[in-house]
């Protein structure tokens, strides 16, 4: 299995949003766009309940690490979440699976990782990127690093303990680090 990539170009990010909505619907586009803004692992993103959101803050306990994550929601994310909540007033999960009429009496469940992986993979093939559920988290980390060049800040956002992991994670190679040393003369 290939390692998924960060999307490093804003136009490609917008194209992916467009294609996800066209091929898989608004909900999958919302997963992509909100996922980009929250930089959570897919298991945590899909498990978000509306009750986890209070005003402009999302508070969850990460499943993988057990760490408490408190994330301030930017206006784009808040607006999209409120639109989803207004459209689906009976939903428990932010990305709740739409159920067939015969399943109405079963407890609600979020979208599956498998469904998101399939949708993202198909779009990745179309735009020639190894796209997966982790691409959202990697993309946010990469773009933050490009904006601020502060690896510690990116590590805190992703809740990583190692600079090496974060560099590899966001796709910063030794070749790029070497080029930074060559291009900046003091």
Q: Determine, yes or no, domain membership for 68.
A: yes
Name the active-site residue from 80, 138, 140, 160: 160
pLDDT computed for residue 174 by the predictor: 65
Does residue 3 form part of some domain? no
Burial class (CB in 10 A: 0-12, 13-18, 19+), 101: exposed
Counted domains in the chain: 1
Domain assignment present for 1 = no
Q: Dihedral, CA atoms, 86, 16, 18, 117, nearest 10 degrees?
A: -60
5 located within any domain: no
Give 45-77 pLDDT, tens digit per residue: 999 999 999 999 999 999 998 889 999 999 999
Is 168 part of a structural domain of the chain? yes
pLDDT at 180: 76
Respond yes or no: is residue 113 known to be catalytic.
Answer: no
Domain enclosing residue 25, as ranges: 10-183
pLDDT of residue 102: 56
How many CB atoms sit inside 10 A of residue 71's CB? 18
| Percent of the chain scoring above 70 in pLDDT | 95
The mean pLDDT of 115-140, rounded to a whole number, is 96
Tens digit of each residue's pLDDT (9 = 90 or more) over 131-169: 999 999 999 999 999 898 888 899 889 888 888 888 887
Selected catalytic residue, list 93, 142, 145, 169? 169
2 domain-assigned = no
CATH number at residue 74: 1.10.443.10
**Could you tell me if 33 and 12 are in contact, meaning their C-beta atoms sit under 8 angstroms apart?**
no
Question: How many residues in the chain?
Answer: 186
Is 80 within a domain?
A: yes
Which one is catalytic: 29, 80, 137, 140? 137
Residues in CB range of 118: below 8 A, 6 or more apart: none
The question of whether 22 is a catalytic residue gets the answer: no
What is the rounded CA–CA span in Å between residue 92 and residue 103? 15
């Amino acid at each position: 299995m290939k390692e998924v990539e960060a999307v490093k170009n804003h136009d490609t990010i917008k194209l992916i949003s467009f294609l996800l909505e066209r091929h898989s619907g608004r909900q999958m586009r919302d997963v992509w766009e909100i996922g980009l803004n929250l930089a959570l692992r897919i298991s945590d993103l899909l498990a978000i309940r509306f009750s986890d959101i209070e005003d402009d803050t999302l508070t969850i306990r990460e499943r993988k690490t057990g760490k408490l994550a408190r994330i301030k929601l930017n206006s784009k994310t808040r607006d999209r979440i409120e639109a989803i909540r207004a459209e689906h007033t009976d939903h428990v999960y932010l990305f709740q699976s739409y159920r067939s009429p015969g399943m109405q009496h079963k407890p609600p469940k979020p979208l599956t990782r498998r469904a998101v992986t399939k949708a993202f993979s198909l779009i990745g093939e179309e735009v020639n990127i190894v796209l997966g559920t982790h691409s959202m988290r990697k993309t946010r980390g990469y773009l933050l690093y490009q904006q601020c060049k502060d690896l510690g800040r990116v590590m805190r956002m992703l809740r990583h303990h190692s600079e090496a992991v974060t560099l590899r994670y966001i796709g910063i190679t030794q070749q790029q680090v070497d080029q930074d040393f060559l291009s900046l003369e003091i």
